[in-house]
Amino acid sequence: MQLISTYFSFIYIGLLLLTIAFYVCSKQKARRWVLLIFSYLFFYAVSGKLIIYLLLSTLSVHHFGLWLSVVQSEGKKQLKTVEKEQKKALSAKIQKKQDLIMAFAAILHIGILAVLKYSPFAAANINTVLRLLHVDHAVQIPEFLVPIGISFYTLQAVSYLFDVYRKTIPADRNLLRLALFMSFYPQIMEGPICRYSDTAESLWKAEKISYSNFVAGSQRIVFGIMKKLIVADRLNLFVEDVFLHYENYDGFVIVIAVVGYTLQLYMDFSGTMDVALGTAQIFGVKLPENFRRPLFSKTISEFWQRWHITLGTWLKDYIFYPVSMSKPVTKLTMRARKRFGNHAGSLIGGSIALFCVWIANGIWHGAGWHYIFFGMYHFAFILCGNIIQPTVIKTSQTLHIDRKSLPYRIMQIIRTDILVCIGELFFRAHGLRAGVAMFRKMFTDFTLETLRDGTLFTFGMDQKDYLVIGVFVIFLLVIGIIQEKGIVIRDRINSQNIALRLAIYYVVIMIIIIFGAYGRGYIPVDPIYANF
Amino acid sequence: MNTYAKRIITALLFTAGLVCLLIITSRITMPKSNEPDCGMEEVVANAIMAENPDTVDAVFLGDSETYCTFVPLQIWNDTGFTSYIIGTSEQTLDYSYTILERAFSRHSLKMVFLEANAIYRKESKEVPYAKLCELFPVFSYHDRWKSLNRNDFDLTATTEYSWTDYNKGYRYSDEIVPSTNADYVIPTDEKSRITPQNRYYVKKIKELCDSNGAELVLISVPSTTNFTYKRHNGTTELADELGCEFIDMNLLPDEMQLDWTKDTRDKGNHLNYAGATKVTAWMSEYLKNKGLMKSRKDDPDCAGWYRDVMYFEKYKLNGEKL
C-alpha cells in the first residue's frame, strides 16, 4: 500500500478542488456521477488494480441485498396465501432461507477480509503450533496485497446486508447509489464507518454546494490538517524510534513515547476524520462523528463511546446485540439472574457478548497478538468497571465522596487516560513481547537521567518542537473544555464580523504553514488508521 | 451589492491578503546567508551561487551518481575548465530544472550534463509542493522559525551567497566495497519507459539550455547496480528525439578502465575517489575535444580555484575539513 499521507497531500487537495469544480458545473443528476467517478479515481490512485476488490464487494452487496429482498417479499406473498396452521412452518422456512443467505453473504465478505488480512498471521501461528508438536511441516500462505480501506468498506457492506436482513432498510435496486455509498472517497480510507441509512440518500441527492457548508467544511478540513501536521507528524520520528529500539531507552523515555503515541494517534486519526467530515460537509453530506473528545472520558467504557464511535456502534449493533439476544445467551442470562440476582445475572450474559465485541475489536485492528491483547485489555477494564460499579457507588456514598465534584471527575479522567495510554503501548508495540518488555521497563528502569543528558532532544525534536506540541495540546484542551460545555466554537467564529473572521483564518493558516511538520527534514506520515 | 458579489469580493480580498502574508513570511524565513548552518536547502549544490559570476562553464545535474563520479577540481587541473556539480541526493527532474535555472541566473554555462539515472527516478508526486516552495519559500524554510533573529525581520534583506564549496560539489570517499557484478552489461532490444512527467522535464531542461546557449548532454555514469540496457535504449531514444548527445559510460569499459573490485564505495552503486579520477580523466579529454570551453587558469576571477585545489589535496591527505 502506498499512501503518501493521502488525505494531506496535494493529490487530495487537487482532487477535492476538481471535484468541487465539476460538481458546481453539473446539474443535480450529474453531480452524483461526479462524486462516484472521483471516488473511484481516488481509490484507483491509492490502490491501483486492487480496486477490483471494491467493485466485487459492491456487486456482491447489491446482489445479496436484492436476493434477501426477493425472499422477503415472496415470503410475504406466500404467507398471505397459506392457511393459518401452515403459516408458522412457512415463516420458519422463509426465515431459515434468509438466515442462510445472510450467513453466506457475511462469510463471503468477512472471509475475503480475513484471507487478505489475516491468513499470514494464521499460518504463522499454525506453524508455531506444528513446531511445538515437532511436526516437520510448515503451512505456506502468500502475503496478499490488501486494498486500502477494506476493513472499513467491508463493515459498511456487512452493515447494509444486516440492515436489509433485519428489514431496517429496503434493499437498494440502484447499483450506482450503493456504489457511491461504499466508495465515497473522503471516508473510504479511514471511515467513519457509515450506515446506509445515514449517508446513501444524501449522497445520491447531491445537493448544491451552499456557502455555509463550504465555509464550515473548509474550517473543519483546516482544523484537521492542523492536528495532523503540527502534532501527529512532528511526534512521528520520536515515537517510531523509541518503539523500535525500546531496549536502548530507559523507562522515562518510554513513558514519554507512550504518551506521545497516544497523542499522535488521536491527532492523526481525529485530524483525518476532520478532513473526511469537512470534505463531506462541503457536498452537503453529514458523515457520523467518530470522536467526541475521548481524552475527557471518566471510564474506559465512556472512552469507547467517544473514540472511534462508528466502530463502537457497529460492534454494538452487529455483534453485541445479536450475541446477547441469541438463544443460548438469553437462556444463560435468565438462569444466572435466578441464581445470582439481577446485576450479576445480567453481567454474565453481557460479558459473553462483550468478550465477542472486544475480540472482534482487537482482531479488526490488525493481525497480531498484541492487537488481541489490546482488545482483551479493554474488555477486562470494562468488565471490571461493570462488576465493581455498585460497590464504588456504595463506598463513595458511605465516605460522603461527591462523585460529581470537579476534583473527583478530574481524578477519573486522569486515571482513564493513564489506562488508555498503557493500552496504546501494547497497540503500538512491535509484538506482544515487546509491549510487555516496554511496560516492564517503565517501572524497573525509570530514571530522570535522560531528561538531564538531553536524550529527548536526539530524535529530530528539540526543545522548541516540544514547546509547539505543548502549546497546541493546551490549545486543544481549552477548545475541548469549551466544547464540553456545549459551545459550538465554529458557530461563534461565524457570528463574528468579517474582519475578525478573516484574521482568525489567517492566523490558523499561517500557524499550519510555519509550525507544520512537513517538507525538508520530515518524512510524510501515512494516516495511521489507513493501515488497519 | 448582492450577496453573491459580496462573497466573491471577500474571497478575492482574502486570497490577496493571504498572498501578502506568504510573501512577508517568505522574506522572513528565507536564509539570509548560504552558510551551511543558516538553514539553506541543498547547501552544497546551491553554493554554485557563491562562485564569482560567470565563472562556471559546465554543470553536472542529477542524483548522487553525479557527486560521486566527477571531480571538478581534477578537470580544472587537467584542463583549466571550470565545472560544478549541482546534483543532489535522489534529485527529481523538477528540482533539476529549478536548480539549473538558478545556476543560469549566475553563470553563462556552456555545457550541462544530465545524469540519466534521474530520468528513471520515480517522478515526484509533490511537484505542486515544489512549485509552491518556489513561489513562496516559506513552504521550504518554515522550520527556520526556530532560529530566526532580528536580521531575519528586515524585509528588504536578500540571501547573501558567500559560502563556496571547495570541492565544487564533489563528495570525496576512498572507501572500497567491491562489486561482485562486473559483467553487468547485458544487451537487449527492450526499452525502459520514461514517465510523461520526467520526459516533460527533460524537454524543459533542453529548452532552458537552448535558450541560454548551452549544450545539453545526457550521460549515464558507470554503475553496476543502476545501469540496465533497457534504460540505455530508452535514453538513446530520448536523446535522438531531443537532438542531443547521449554518453553511456557503462558501454565504454576500455576507456574508463574501472576495476570494480577497487573503484566503488558501495558494491558498484557509486564510484569511490579512485574510480572517480578515472572517469573524470576521460571527461577532461572529452571536454577538450568538445572545444566549447576555454581554460580559465589565467582568469583572475577564478584565482580561488587554486586555493580550493590546495584545500582538497590537504583534505585527501589529512582528512581535515575546512
Over the stretch B105-121, which tens digit does the pLDDT of each residue have? 999 999 999 999 999 98
Contact criterion met (CB below 8 Å) for B132 and A513: no
pLDDT at A2 over 80: no
Burial of A39 (0-12, 13-18, 19+ CB in 10 A): buried
pLDDT at B67 over 50: yes
Residues A86 and A168 in one domain: yes
pLDDT at B171 over 60: yes
Tell me the mean pLDDT in the region A434-452. Answer: 89
Q: How much is the pLDDT for A6? A: 65
Residues A451 and A403 in one domain: no
Last residue of a domain, one of A138, A173, A208: A208
Confidence of residue A158 (pLDDT cuts 50, 70, 90): very high
Cell numbers that stand for A496 in this block: 463574528
pLDDT at A108 over 70: yes
Cell numbers that stand for A338 in this block: 435466578
Q: Which of chain B's residues have a Cβ under 8 Å away from the Cβ of A464? A: 145-146
Q: How much is the pLDDT for A316? A: 94
Q: Which of chain A's residues have a Cβ under 8 Å away from the Cβ of B29? A: 514
Structural domains of chain B sorted by starting position, each given as residue range(s) with its CATH number in brackets: 42-124+162-318 (3.40.50.1110)
- What are A's interface residues with B at a Cβ cutoff of 8 A? 4, 9-11, 14, 211, 462, 464, 498, 502, 505-506, 509-510, 513-516, 519-521
| Single pTM value for the model | 0.83
**What's the total number of domains in chain A?**
3
The answer to the question of residue A530 being in a domain is no
pLDDT at B322 over 70: no
Q: Which chain A residue has the Cα nearest residue B17? A: A506
The answer to the question of residue A105 being in a domain is yes
Task: Give long-range contacts, CB 8 A cutoff, 24+ apart: A472-478.
Answer: A472/A226, A472/A230, A472/A231, A472/A515, A473/A231, A473/A263, A476/A227
Q: Which of chain A's residues have a Cβ under 8 Å away from the Cβ of B21? A: 506, 510
Q: Which of chain A's residues have a Cβ under 8 Å away from the Cβ of B125? A: 4, 9-11
SS3 B271: strand
Residues A60 and A192 in one domain: yes
Residues A195 and A214 in one domain: no
Name the one residue in this structure whose C-alpha cell is 548552518.
B37
Choose the weakest-confidence range: A211-220, B13-22, B26-35, B311-320. Answer: B311-320
- What are B's interface residues with A at a Cβ cutoff of 8 A? 7, 10, 13-14, 17-18, 21-22, 25, 29, 41, 125-126, 128-129, 133, 138-140, 142-143, 145-146
pLDDT at B152 over 60: yes
- What are A271-317's pLDDT values in tens digits? 999 999 999 999 999 999 999 999 999 999 999 999 999 999 999 99
Residues A123 and A227 in one domain: no
Confidence of residue A164 (pLDDT cuts 50, 70, 90): very high
Dihedral, B189, B193, B199, B201 alpha carbons, nearest 10? -120
Tell me the mean pLDDT in the region A168-183. Answer: 94
Q: How much is the pLDDT for A532? A: 63
Q: Which residue from A334, A38, A358, A408 is spatially nearest to A186, judged by alpha carbons?
A: A38
* Cβ partners under 8 Å of residue A390, min gap 6: A343
Q: How much is the pLDDT for A522? A: 74
The answer to the question of residue A532 being in a domain is no
- What are A208-227's pLDDT values in tens digits? 999 889 999 999 999 999 99
Residues A37 and A122 in one domain: yes
Neighbour-count burial for A282-310, b at 16+ CB within 10 Å, e otherwise:
bbbbebbebbbbbbbbbbbbbbbebbbbb
Q: Which residue has the higher pLDDT, A454 or A477?
A: A477
The answer to the question of residue A191 being in a domain is yes
**Pairing relation of β-strands B215-220 and B58-61?**
unpaired
Residues A307 and A335 in one domain: yes
CA distance A223 to chain B (A): 17
Residues A396 and A444 in one domain: no
Residues A351 and A231 in one domain: no
Q: How much is the pLDDT for A451? A: 79
For residue A60, the Cα-to-chain-centroid distance in whole angstroms is 24
Q: Which residue from A293, A295, A300 is spatially nearest to A388, judged by alpha carbons?
A: A300
The answer to the question of residue A402 being in a domain is yes
B215 φ/ψ angles, rounded to the nearest 5 degrees: -100, 130
Per the CB < 8 Å rule, is A14 touching B146?
Answer: no
Tell me the mean pLDDT in the region B149-157. Answer: 86
Average pLDDT in chain A: 89
Choose the weakest-confidence range: A109-113, A249-253, A365-369. Answer: A365-369
Question: ω before A192 within 30° of 0 (cis)?
Answer: yes
pLDDT at B124 over 70: no
- What are B26-60's pLDDT values in tens digits? 999 999 888 877 888 888 999 999 999 999 999 99
Give the DSSP letter string of A501-521: HHHHHHHHHHHHHHH---STT
The answer to the question of residue A116 being in a domain is yes
Which residue range is the domain that position A35 belongs to?
6-208
For residue A272, the Cα-to-chain-centroid distance in whole angstroms is 11
Q: How much is the pLDDT for B246? A: 96
* Count of C-beta atoms within a 10 Å radius of residue B254: 6
CA distance A464 to chain B (A): 7
Residues A415 and A444 in one domain: no
Q: How much is the pLDDT for A4? A: 45
Confidence of residue A106 (pLDDT cuts 50, 70, 90): very high
Tell me the mean pLDDT in the region A403-409. Answer: 88
Contact criterion met (CB below 8 Å) for B43 and B159: no
Per the CB < 8 Å rule, is B41 touching A515?
Answer: no
Residues A319 and A287 in one domain: no
Last residue of a domain, one of A186, A208, A230: A208
- What are B194-251's pLDDT values in tens digits? 988 899 999 999 999 999 999 999 999 999 999 999 999 999 999 999 999 999 999 9
Interface residue of A510, A515, A522, A523 to substitute, partner B, most B CBs within 10 Å: A510
Last residue of a domain, one of A419, A446, A461: A419
Q: Which chain A residue has the Cα nearest residue B136? A: A513
A520 closest CB neighbour out of B10, B22, B41: B41
Residues A235 and A329 in one domain: no
Per the CB < 8 Å rule, is B18 touching A509?
Answer: yes
The answer to the question of residue A1 being in a domain is no
Q: How much is the pLDDT for A38? A: 93
Tell me the mean pLDDT in the region A34-56. Answer: 91
SS3 B1: coil
Tell me the mean pLDDT in the region A58-83. Answer: 90
The answer to the question of residue A531 being in a domain is no
Per the CB < 8 Å rule, is B18 touching A498?
Answer: no
A519 closest CB neighbour out of B13, B25, B142: B142
Per the CB < 8 Å rule, is A506 touching B129?
Answer: no
- For B248, the enclosing helix (H) or strand (E) is strand B245-248
Burial of B178 (0-12, 13-18, 19+ CB in 10 A): middle
Confidence of residue A135 (pLDDT cuts 50, 70, 90): confident
Per the CB < 8 Å rule, is B142 touching A516?
Answer: yes
Per the CB < 8 Å rule, is B143 touching A520?
Answer: yes
Q: How much is the pLDDT for A298? A: 93
Counting residues of chain A whose pLDDT is more than 90, the rounded percentage is 58
Cell numbers that stand for B216 in this block: 545539453
**Pairing relation of β-strands B245-248 and B215-220?**
parallel
Per the CB < 8 Å rule, is A4 touching B125?
Answer: yes
Bridge partners (DSSP) listed for residue B33 = B160
